[in-house]
Structure 1
């Protein structure tokens, strides 16, 4: 176990767990692009499915949590606006689907 942790550049189990959290967040961002690409290919035009925004917010929140834990201002400042924007997009989509005026 110690060899794996040293390969990952971590010294404690907590650091290793947070590294996994950070990587999970990055995987969410990768998944959102795969979802968008597959939906566009299926439609034959560029589209942004709702799942794109869910993966965006999941990835953003997870990476933001990682940044806060690591006290990394670049990550925090980079992710915080995105989480707000992703949330707003989901809120606008929800209102549109409920037939409300935006």
Structure 2
């Protein structure tokens, strides 16, 4: 996961920041308003991120998108997504590890 998060700052201008922001605005309520189409669209673009992108880890991370249930760590997700605009030393690595287990 550290390997995955190290690369967040290296995603180039083709990274869909707008879509990520749209997607993460909804983290507080995984329900019928959850933008499944946008999630699929977002994850389809993983292959377009450059060759240093950790595809295996990304697939592991995104495999769980179809089962957002009551065990989903909402608090950690909110913490995680607050930092999308600046992947820096304040990035919550511990929460990411919890989230992606």
Same fold (TM over 0.5): no
Larger RCO (alpha carbons 8 Å, 6+ apart): 2
Normalising by structure 2, report the TM-score.
0.35
Normalising by structure 1, report the TM-score.
0.35
Larger radius of gyration: 1
- The structure that is helix-richer by fraction is 1
